[in-house]
Amino acid sequence: MTVGGMESVEVFTSEGKGRGLKAQKEFLPGDVIFAEPAYAAVVFDSLTHVICHTCFKRQERLHRCGQCKFAYYCDRTCQRAAWLNHKNECSAIKRHGKAPTENIRLAARIMWRIEREGSGLAEGCLVSIDDLQNHVDSFDEEEKRELRADVESFLEFWPPQSQQFGMQYISHIFGVITCNGFTLSDQRGLQAVGVGIFPNLCQANHDCWPNCTVIFNNGNHEAVRSMFHTQMRIELRALNKISPGDELTVSYVDFLNVGEERRKQLKKQYYFDCTCEHCKKQIKDDLMLAVKEGENKPSAETVKEVIQFSKDTLEKINKARVEGAYHEVVKLCRECLKKQEPVLGDTNLYLLRILSIASEVLSYLQMFEEAADYAKRMVDGYMKIYHPNNAQLGMAVMRAGVTHWHAGLIEAGHGLICKAYAILLITHGPSHPITKDLEVMRVQTEMELRMFQQNELMYYKMREAALKNQKIQVMPEPSNETSPSLFHKKE
């Protein structure tokens, strides 16, 4: 797929929101509106040795740069592709004695590109780096202190022979990174692994119920014929039918939070007040705060107590997850669910958060039947809250489907996998590695389901034999990240 498509969008000035993007033609759900390569991107400090610095894929064995001993690549193809951006970095790391932090490395890559090309419009960009918002004026004292420290570290790292930039301009670049750094994930979409700057994407305004989604695609350079090579890029994809002249919006935060909380998060991280319909009218807030109805309706006092208990439990769970104490996490979840179930409604976000953690951790511990029960309830709640084509919903339904499959609940498992596949075809597209994985699972579960329908006993016997002969596929270790924001924020 070629990177581009910028002719189908235009930048306009949106009332009260600064610049925005508008569609120039009609788009249908799943259409790629545009694809954009990173202006500059770096791997997170903690993962520099396990993630390729060109395509951001996680690989078992990586080639290390022989010069700086810092950068790692899948193979020579990725290493060659990186040289233009790595060349200056390579000699600067050798001179400095060690690699600086990810923010400094990203700022340096941006500056070296500006040194090479000037700071005007780069090819395929609707706006220049100079025109991106930095919000430095809105920084609080702590953010200003961090900014000063970053500028200082940058100046120590920046080579004397490179073009010298003024303090104000360096601060502008760090401000741009803080507000516009986009989170990059590995090829399975399971872990945030880096941060990049995508100037065109930065023009899309936020809406809590958007008409577009952004997906990171690591690209494919393994294709035998170079005409099928694709580069690492983000894709802006339509979630609904979009008409010419409609504003294109994306959500900067996860929708699974009441409007007031989302607004607080947006103000703190992105320095604006959200005025979207869902926030103004508090749409879906009633579902996320739902309590049990009927004759046993709990008192307001009881609800308050259970919510507080849930918040305290979530803190304890986070601590136990960091320590890898997964059996403790399960115990905490079960205790919390016992308290929540008589009081909170099926779509209450505190109940859904506990169900999500419980199903993920139990799957990891291979306690699939209990995990499947929680996953089913979580997905039922999510379906009522999320946009039907939400990428996070698709991923949650996929995990629930895999859990049911591992639990031997083949009918429900296949149904969920099909449902997830339909969502991911729109949000990720058919050629994304996650969608391809899901297609393999869909075919496999369909085959197993047919076998199950023809001869149930035989199915279970074959399943048992298969499980004895091969180690069951272990679910990935639960991550401690809450669902990532669209843009990367330094904690």
Provide mean pLDDT across the span 186-210.
Answer: 89
Q: Please report the pLDDT score of residue 462 as a whole number.
A: 81
Would you give the DSSP letter of residue 64? E
Report phi then psi at 291, rounded to 5. -125, 165
User: Which two three-digit tokens encode residue 132?
Assistant: 């991106």
Q: What is the pLDDT of residues 457-475, one digit of tens each?
A: 888 888 777 767 654 454 5
pLDDT grade for 489, boundaries at 50, 70 and 90: low
Residue 144's pLDDT is what? 93
Mean pLDDT of the chain: 89
403 and 438 Cβ atoms separated by less than 8 Å: no
Pairing of strands 205-206, 247-250: parallel
* Mean pLDDT (whole number) for 413-435: 95
**Average pLDDT, integer, range 367-383:** 97
For the chain, the structural domain boundaries read 9-270, 277-446
Report residue 1's pLDDT band, with 50, 70 and 90 as the boundaries: very low
pLDDT band at residue 120, thresholds of 50, 70 and 90?
confident
Instruction: Tell me if the domain spanning 277-446 has CATH number 2.120.10.60.
Output: no
Pairwise CA distance, residues 46 & 128, whole Å = 30
CA distance 276 to 255: 12
pLDDT of residue 347: 97
Residue type, 225: R
Confidence of residue 228 (pLDDT cuts 50, 70, 90): very low
Q: What is the DSSP string of 35-55?
A: EE--SEEEE-GGGTTTB-TTT
What is the C-alpha to C-alpha distance for residues 214 and 33, in angstroms, rounded to an integer? 10
pLDDT at 488 over 80: no
The answer on pLDDT for 327 being more than 70 is yes
pLDDT at 225: 47
Q: How far is CA 349 from CA 209, 289, 416, in A?
A: 17, 7, 21
Q: How confident is the model at residue 59 (pLDDT cuts 50, 70, 90)?
A: confident
- Assess whether pLDDT exceeds 60 at residue 186: yes
Kindly report, residue by residue over 131-176, the tens digit of the pLDDT: 998 889 889 999 999 999 999 999 999 999 999 999 999 999 999 9
Instruction: Tell me the two tokens of residue 273.
Output: 């007040």
Q: How many residues does the chain have?
A: 491
* 322 pLDDT more than 80: yes
Residue 401 contacts residue 441 (beta carbons within 8 Å): yes
Of all residues in the chain, what percent carry a pLDDT higher than 90? 71
User: Strands 182-185 and 192-197, how do they pair?
Assistant: antiparallel
Cβ contacts of residue 86 below 8 Å, gap of 6+?
A: 53, 65, 71
Q: Is the pLDDT of residue 480 over 80?
A: no
Fold of 9-270: Beta-clip-like (2.170.270)
pLDDT at res. 464:
79
Give me the pLDDT at residue 221, please: 62
CA distance 319 to 291: 28
| Per-residue model confidence (pLDDT) at position 6 | 74
Average the pLDDT over each of 121-130, 330-339, 375-384 and give the range with the smallest value. 121-130
For residue 68, which of 23, 25, 100, 110 has the smallest C-alpha distance? 100
Alpha-helical segments (H) within 7-101: 76-96
And the tokens for 7?
A: 């002719």
Q: pLDDT-based confidence at 229, cuts 50/70/90? A: low
How high is the pLDDT of residue 477? 63
pLDDT in the model for residue 121:
77
Provide mean pLDDT across the span 337-357.
96
pLDDT at position 491, please?
A: 42
* DSSP helix/strand/coil, 20: strand
